[in-house]
C-alpha cells in the first residue's frame, strides 16, 4: 500500500499570499488530520476530517481552513500568509472505527517558508 502523500513538499510564498496544501491518505483511510510544526511551538493540531466532515479544530485563526473530498483526499488553505506561518505542515491518516483507537500514519510534510 502506498503511504500518505503530501504535495508540494516545499513551498516559498510571500506575506499576504495564500497557499493550498494537499494530502492523499492511505487507501481505505477515511480520517485525515493536519498538524503544524514550528521550532518554537512544536507540533500542534490544526484540524481533523472524517468522511468530508470536520470533526475537530485546533486553536488556529480563521485564516487556516481545510476540506476533505469524497475520495478522502484533503486540502488545507492558509490565507493572508504571515511570517509566523512558516512551518512544516504534516498530515496523518487513520481509519477511525467507532469505539476503537487507530494508529495514525504520517505523511512527509510540506515545508512552507513565508518571506
Partner 1 sequence: KNEVEQSPQNLTAQEGEFITINCSYSVGISALHWLQQHPGGGIVSLFMLSSGKKKHGRLIATINIQEKHSSLHITASHPRDSAVYICAVKEGGSEKLVFGKGTKLTVNP
Give the binding site for partner 1 (CB under 8 A). Answer: 31, 33, 35, 37, 42-45, 48, 50, 55-56, 58, 88, 90, 92, 94, 96, 101-106, 108-109, 111
Q: Cβ(49)–Cβ(69) under 8 Å?
A: no
Whether residue 5 contacts residue 106, with contact meaning beta carbons closer than 8 Å, is answered with no
Hey, how many other C-beta atoms are within 10 angstroms of the C-beta on 68? 23
As measured in angstroms, the least distance from the Cβ of 44 to partner 1 is 7
Find the shortest distance in angstroms from Cβ 90 to partner 1: 6
> In angstroms, what is the minimal distance from the CB of 80 to partner 1?
25
As given in the structure block, the three cell numbers for residue 48 are 481533523
> Considering beta carbons, is residue 11 or 88 the nearer one to partner 1?
88
Q: Which residue, 14 or 56, is less far from partner 1 as judged by CB?
A: 56
7, 109 Cβ separation under 8 angstroms:
no
Amino acid at each position: 500500500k502506498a503511504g500518505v502523500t503530501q504535495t508540494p513538499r516545499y513551498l516559498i510564498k510571500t506575506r499576504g499570499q495564500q497557499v493550498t496544501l494537499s494530502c492523499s491518505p492511505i487507501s481505505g483511510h477515511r480520517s485525515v488530520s493536519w498538524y503544524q510544526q514550528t521550532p518554537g511551538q512544536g507540533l500542534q493540531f490544526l484540524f481533523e476530517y472524517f468522511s468530508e466532515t470536520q470533526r475537530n479544530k485546533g486553536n488556529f485563526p480563521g485564516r487556516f481552513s481545510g476540506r476533505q473530498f469524497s475520495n478522502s483526499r484533503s486540502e488545507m488553505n492558509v490565507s493572508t500568509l504571515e511570517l509566523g506561518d512558516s512551518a512544516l505542515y504534516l498530515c496523518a491518516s487513520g481509519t477511525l472505527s467507532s469505539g476503537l483507537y487507530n494508529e495514525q500514519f504520517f505523511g512527509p510534510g510540506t515545508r512552507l517558508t513565508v518571506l
